Amino acid sequence: RSGEMAKLTKLLDNEAFQAYATYATIVLLKMMLMSLLTVYFRITRKAFANPEDVATFGRGETAKKYLRTDADVERVRRGHLNDLENIVPFLGIGLLYALSGPELSTALLHFRIFAGARVLHTFAYLIPLPQPSRGLSWAAGYAVTISMAYKVLKTALYL
């Protein structure tokens, strides 16, 4: 048993894999923050999606008016969905990339650009910053993911 444990931990002794673990966790935590922001904006803007969420505001018409969409809530939700659309590819391709034996410095460069780009994207979306801030930060994360996918396919292609 403890021999097995040791063997498993080996994967996390590899520095490129440690870097993946670190940055994957960071971008996932950042994405999870979007849930809290949605809750925050739903409460402060009083804009909810479910009848049971507005029951404490009273019954009937009084509560019903809080069942509405709000521009700030929808903006956070679009940012959250954009995170999902981009972080899911990073999680999958990044894991395989970390296992493909990349140079540590190259791997770190990819992971740091991706994480930085997603943080910038969130600020650009929520402040919001004028375009092309959001577009460019999205493109940077996208390009880095493509670059990792290329390395994975070059190393492991088996059709």
Sketch the per residue contact string, 26 through 65, with a copy of itself: x for CB under 8 A, - otherwise. --xx-xx-xx-------------xxxxx-xx---------
Kindly report the backbone phi and psi dihedral angles of residue 69, in degrees, each rounded to the nearest multiple of 5, phi listed first. Answer: -95, 155
CA pair distance 137, 146, nearest whole angstrom:
15
For the bound state, the minimum distance from the C-beta of residue 117 to a copy of itself, rounded and expressed in Å, comes to 14
Q: Among 41, 110, 134, 144, which residue interacts with a copy of itself (rule: CB under 8 A)?
A: 134
For the bound state, the minimum distance from the C-beta of residue 62 to a copy of itself, rounded and expressed in Å, comes to 17
Q: Among 22, 44, 62, 69, which residue interacts with a copy of itself (rule: CB under 8 A)?
A: 22
How many CA atoms within 13 Å lie on the side-chain side of 89?
16
Q: Note whether 136 binds a copy of itself by CB under 8 A.
A: no
For the bound state, the minimum distance from the C-beta of residue 36 to a copy of itself, rounded and expressed in Å, comes to 9
Q: Note whether 157 binds a copy of itself by CB under 8 A.
A: yes
Number of residues that bind a copy of itself (CB under 8 A): 70
Kindly report the backbone phi and psi dihedral angles of residue 99, in degrees, each rounded to the nearest multiple of 5, phi listed first. Answer: -85, -5
Write the CA distances from 101 to 47, 62, 92, 104, 106, integer angstroms: 48, 60, 16, 8, 11
CA pair distance 122, 79, nearest whole angstrom:
7
CA 80 to chain centre: 8
40 Ramachandran zone, left/alpha/beta (phi>0; psi -120 to 50): alpha
Which residues of this protein are in contact with a copy of itself, per CB under 8 A? Answer: 1, 4-19, 21-22, 24-25, 28-29, 31-32, 34-35, 49-53, 55-56, 75, 78, 80-81, 84-89, 91-93, 95-96, 98-101, 128-131, 134, 138, 142, 145-146, 149, 152-153, 155-159
